């Protein structure tokens, strides 16, 4: 089954390609994809191409199959194994290359994704926009520039006030994202409890929708049991490439990602980081929205999706953003990056974290607290959610 090159080339103008692994693993599809990637690389002016993948079998297979196709198409290719997305982005800050990042974590376990990075950024549109550029005030003098992604995260977090060290459980610790998260937490002085990765079973009952993301039930169960047994103070569930993260605490279980975002706002507001505006998607609960506004921060509501959040942040000069599926966005020194591993490092190190969640949930009347707004995404269409949000706004105006 041949694929028109134009389809792939147009796909690269967004956040990369996401489709069924069964499609991308078809030889004819891989041939067309590899040729388009080589053509895209030359069009962007890159002679060297780095092929990276996360820790999923699908991503490993696709990366191995693409390499000879890219080489035969005239690209100079080097393969790097089991990197998280943030590491891949940071790598392109140090080297003038195009990185093709293969991830099998989207809508796991049956999908594959292809992301492109250059100049420290994920490629969005026809420009190299600073989506994944790491943005923590790095010195322009190379002599003082940190040598890797992890030292940059460590330096950023240690600037924050009132830090603490905890016992942290990390589920899926053997994945590329889990490995990177464990490294960050260890560098910050936390004690790490490494938990397993999801079961290989692809049966429908081994995966569930949770806060607009797909998570392995075995991951969530193992993590919550470890917390309940007192083996760790807090925990994180992380996906394969590390761009989606959910916090868990013994008292509350899994913490919705919008409440994680509100806790980050509270922490960052107490530091010297400028945080005048924040963006969240419209699925964020009223209690979370109210809590953020009470911190003296202007809150803007975006549509669903990373591209929508980033576009809103760029257009309104916002400093921080998040969406309920577990992606966290930061703006420092004029640039924007998705870095959920950085977000996890901040949350784990925040001494008052345990007090933030009840404060967030108490920021609205009982009828509109977070629990009542956790709608399973497969049961409700996004259009209905958007309409409901508009109706709520109109109802509030009538009351006023």
Q: Which of 255, 290, 307 is the last residue of a domain?
A: 255
Residues 329 and 382 in one domain: yes
Longest dimension (CA), the chain: 67
Percent of the chain with pLDDT over 90: 17
Query: What is the domain-level CATH number for residue 384?
Result: 3.40.120.10
**Cα angle, residue 202 at apex, residues 200 and 205 outer, rounded to 5°:** 115
Answer yes or no: is 130 within a domain. Answer: no
The verdict on whether omega for the bond into residue 39 sits within 30 degrees of 0, i.e. cis, is no
Answer yes or no: is 170 within a domain. Answer: yes
Answer yes or no: is 104 within a domain. Answer: yes
Residues 97 and 209 in one domain: no
Residues 108 and 235 in one domain: no
Percent of the chain with pLDDT over 70: 70
Cβ-Cβ contacts under 8 Å for 314 (sequence gap 6 or more) = 336
pLDDT digits 0-9 by tens, 53-100: 888 887 888 888 889 988 888 888 888 888 888 888 788 877 888 888
Domain residue limits at 309? 258-340+350-399
Domain count, the chain: 3
Residues 78 and 179 in one domain: no
Answer yes or no: is 225 within a domain. Answer: yes
pLDDT digits 0-9 by tens, 360-389: 887 765 444 444 344 333 333 444 444 454
pTM of the model: 0.67
Burial classification of residue 25, based on how many CB atoms lie within 10 Å of its CB (0-12 exposed, 13-18 middle, 19 or more buried): middle
Please tell me the predicted confidence (pLDDT) of residue 92. 81
Answer yes or no: is 138 within a domain. Answer: no
């Amino acid at each position: 089954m041949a694929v028109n090159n134009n389809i792939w080339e147009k796909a690269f103008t967004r956040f990369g390609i996401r489709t069924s692994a069964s499609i991308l693993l078809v030889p004819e599809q891989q041939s067309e994809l590899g040729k388009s990637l080589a053509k895209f690389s030359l069009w962007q002016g890159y002679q060297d191409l780095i092929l990276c993948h996360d820790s999923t079998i699908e991503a490993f297979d696709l990366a191995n199959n693409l390499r000879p196709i890219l080489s035969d198409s005239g690209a100079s290719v080097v393969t790097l194994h089991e990197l998280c997305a943030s590491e891949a982005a940071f790598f392109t800050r140090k080297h003038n290359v195009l990185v093709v990042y293969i991830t099998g974590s989207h809508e796991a376990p049956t999908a594959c994704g292809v992301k492109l990075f250059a100049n420290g950024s994920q490629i969005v549109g026809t420009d190299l926009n600073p989506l994944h550029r790491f943005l923590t005030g790095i010195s322009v003098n190379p002599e003082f520039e940190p040598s890797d992604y992890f030292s940059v995260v460590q330096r950023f977090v240690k600037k924050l006030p009132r830090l603490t060290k905890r016992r942290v459980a990390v589920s899926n610790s053997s994945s590329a994202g889990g490995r990177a998260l464990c490294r960050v937490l260890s560098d910050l002085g936390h004690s790490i409890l490494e938990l397993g990765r999801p079961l290989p079973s692809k049966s429908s009952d081994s995966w569930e929708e949770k806060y607009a993301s797909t998570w392995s039930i075995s991951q969530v169960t193992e993590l919550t049991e470890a917390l309940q047994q007192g083996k760790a103070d807090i925990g994180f569930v992380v996906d394969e490439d590390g761009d989606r993260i959910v916090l868990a605490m013994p008292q509350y279980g899994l913490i919705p990602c919008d409440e994680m975002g509100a806790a980050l706002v509270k922490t960052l507001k107490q530091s010297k980081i400028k945080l005048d505006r924040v963006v969240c998607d419209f699925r964020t609960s009223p209690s979370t929205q109210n809590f953020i506004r009470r911190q003296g921060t202007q809150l803007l509501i975006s549509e669903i999706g990373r591209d929508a959040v980033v576009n809103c942040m760029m257009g309104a000069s916002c400093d921080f953003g998040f969406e309920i599926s577990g992606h966290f966005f930061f703006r420092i020194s004029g640039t924007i990056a998705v870095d959920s591993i950085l977000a996890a490092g901040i949350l784990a190190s925040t001494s008052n974290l345990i007090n933030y969640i009840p404060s967030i949930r108490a920021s609205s009347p009982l009828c509109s607290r977070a629990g009542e707004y956790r709608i399973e995404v497969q049961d409700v269409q996004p259009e209905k959610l958007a309409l409901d949000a508009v109706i709520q706004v109109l109802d509030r105006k009538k009351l006023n």
